[in-house]
Amino acid sequence: MRVFVGTDHAGLEFKEHLKGALAEAGHEPVDCGAFEYDAQDDYPPFCFEVAERTVAEPGSLGVVIGGSGNGEQIAANKVPGVRAALVWNRDTAELARQHNDANVVSIGARQHSVDEATELVLLFLATSFSGDERHVRRIGLVNDYERDRHRPAGGLPTRTGHP
């Protein structure tokens, strides 16, 4: 599988390691930058590149890397069609794919050892979407909102006993 990978300076060393691990696992890593260390670089352009290329190539997945992974996930999710998930343990890596059909994984290089971060990314890539009707429905609601900016029919659930 083709895997687009991007980071700012905070994840540069991990990205280089991950490209080798991806190739060793049979994937085709595509480096979307950064290509050299610059402590003043900004993560959004690298995340946009990964996200846009992932959406443009069905069947591919993306990896965005930063210090925490938070900003990188937010940036990637600004690209229509992206469902980026921040992962921090095995459960979040698997559930991002199984329940959310996430197509981009975000990881904080400063939050994990190299081995742990690699394991989480590879687990994300190896996990399939469950296809369960409830998850398909929920993803559809998100996709519809992303496209039309209208809430689902019926609005918010009614709650009794709350002001």
Looking at 9, 17, 99, 135, which residue is catalytic?
99
According to DSSP, residue 120 is labeled: H
Tokens representing residue 129 in the block: 């979407």
Exposed (0-12), middle (13-18) or buried (19+): which is 40, by Cβ within 10 Å?
exposed
Chain CA centroid to CA 70, Å: 10
Looking at 27, 49, 52, 72, which residue is catalytic?
72
Q: Give the number of residues written for the chain.
A: 163
- Catalytic residue at 9? no
Query: 98: alpha, beta or left, given left = phi > 0 and alpha = psi -120 to 50?
Result: alpha
Distance (Å, whole) CA 64 – CA 35: 14
Residues known to be catalytic: 72, 99
